[in-house]
Amino acid sequence: MPTEWWRGAVIYQIYPRSFKDSNGDGIGDLKGVIDRLDYVARLGVDGVWLSPFFTSPMRDFGYDVSDFCNVDPVFGDLSDFDALVLKAHRLGLKIIIDQVYSHSSDQHAWFGESRQDRENPKAAWYVWADPKPDGTPPNNWQSVFGGPAWTWDSRRRQYYFHNFLSSQPDLNLHNKEVQNAILQVTRFWLNRGVDGFRLDALNFAMHDPQLRDNPPAPHSDRKITRPFDYQLHVHSQSHPDIALFLERIRKVVDEYSGVFTVAEVAGPSPLAEMKAFTAGDKRLNSAYNFDFLYGKKLTSEQVKTSLTAWTGEPGEGWPSWAFSNHDAPRAVNRWAPEDQRDRAARLYAMLLMSLRGNIFLYQGEELGLPQADVPFEQLQDPEAIANWPLTLGRDGARTPIPWAQGTVNSGFSVSKPWLPVDPRHDGLAIDVQEADQHSTLQFFRKLIAIRSDSAPLRLGSIDFVRTTDDFLAFSRTFKGDSVFCAFNLSVEKKCRQTGKECAMTTLISSEPDHYGQHPPETVPALSGFIAQITS
């Protein structure tokens, strides 16, 4: 096994607002995370990724940071964070935190100073531009959340650029002073004992200084709900100098021991940037995209395409994968029929845990939670509100975790939660599944233990077998030890396809009575198995 703890690791994502409320205000907090870290450790995961808990006006629920080096009072304070890190390390868990380097809140002191005039010390810390002669924005760039990516500021008599909400002005990371300030943020959290960073929206971090117009996107038959999707974002994001800034981050990170760095890379064609951000040993360790997070259907061809893009050649980074997270509707809703979601949750778990790379497991995924139903009047997500009812939005994946069946708010909080608890989740509560040896939760624990103990699953190469579109099969091999993985993605039973026949013993299967036996010739609908190749 290599020395890097993160290579092939399973990392559990906690969305603190919805994990556990410790003080009865209806919002999850750091003390709530501390109280329930033992549950996370019992899953057998290697680490925890904490979504933002920084000081913020919460227009985008923590991704609009007004103080990069402090904890928002709704979540607690820095002593709570220190206690969380201490307990996590005592339990053998690593702590990874979000870092939002592409933008800040408009309530950040840096922006407050920058917008005062055009001569102040931080005047160039954000992206400012004069209007066109007719007073309109400098170019045609559009924001992710709808409308122009430029907002007028009367004090400077200029527009400022924002890829997301108008309350999230983009930092000017071309400016070395800004880079230096961000690197101080990096050091601040490393000095508090964090073990890694997820760099949010990294390919949005730098723009084209010439402010050239984005070209239109090719015509598509898909339904477009926002102006952002009418463009190719070749100038408003993805500047090649992002990779050079990452080298500065890596120099800081390498002063500490065993720190893991992973980039979030959004967009329709992210592979080139993912490879650039992780190339060699001077940039990031890993990157992940939205190959599976927004996919409306799961096919064997999609898995093959995504996985074979990472060949393992020298100098190549290490991929990471997620099927669900706080930004995407839950996978069981997107991919499985409603009456088959329990079976599908186990199938998707086996597939996710079999992939070559690091695995991100989103809170509630281990319970098989479906996307929650959040009425319009209770929506909080600005994107969901803006595009309602044409998209599912993000709130349905962010509702509180059900801890105890039949209790107030399923044990999340004694007060009204910030988002409602879906009644369907109550029957899937953790206490119910803890007591049932055949539950989805217990299945996940077995599966994570198998991956943890298997060098092929954590570190091995991946070789796909030629199969039909609804059947996926591959082997994972490390130093002569091999595991065979097969998955029936369809709602009909399929004959097992192995490419070549060999002796195998089932390690785990959707069908419990197959454990320890040679895999069956027929694989039931929405099921699969992982088997040790014995000869």
Q: How many Å apart are CA 290 and CA 308, to the nearest integer?
A: 16
Contact 296, 334 (CB under 8 A): yes
Contact 225, 390 (CB under 8 A): yes
Q: How many Å apart are CA 170 and CA 134, to the nearest integer?
A: 24
**Tally of residues, the chain:** 535
Contact 52, 65 (CB under 8 A): yes
| 353's tokens | 């845990």
Is 113 known to be catalytic? Answer: no
Contact 110, 67 (CB under 8 A): no
* Residue for token pair 């690593």: 94
Tell me the CA distances in angstroms from 257 to 52, 218, 244, 250, 280, one per residue in order: 23, 46, 22, 12, 18
- Where does 24-150 have alpha helices with state H? 30-35, 37-43, 78-90, 109-114
| 67's tokens | 């103080």
DSSP, res 14: E
List the catalytic residue out of 255, 377, 492, 501: 255
Among 15, 11, 16, CA closest to 41: 11
Q: How many Å apart are CA 171 and CA 161, to the nearest integer?
A: 9
- Where does 423-525 have alpha helices with state H? 423-426, 430-434, 440-453, 455-459
Q: How many Å apart are CA 288 and CA 198, to the nearest integer?
A: 10
Q: How many Å apart are CA 331 and CA 295, to the nearest integer?
A: 9
Is 255 known to be catalytic? Answer: yes
Q: How many Å apart are CA 469 and CA 299, to the nearest integer?
A: 6
Among 142, 194, 168, CA closest to 57: 168
List the catalytic residue out of 200, 264, 273, 291: 200
Question: What is the three-state SS of 356-386?
Answer: CCEEEEECCHHHCCCCCCCCHHHCCCHHHHH
Write the CB contacts of 148 (distance below 8 Å, at least 6 apart in sequence).
137, 141, 142
Beta strand 54-55 pairing with 67-71? antiparallel
Name 260's bridge partners.
Answer: 196
Query: Can the peptide bond before residue 520 be classed as cis, meaning omega within 30 degrees of 0?
Result: no
Q: Which sequence positions are flagged as catalytic?
A: 200, 255
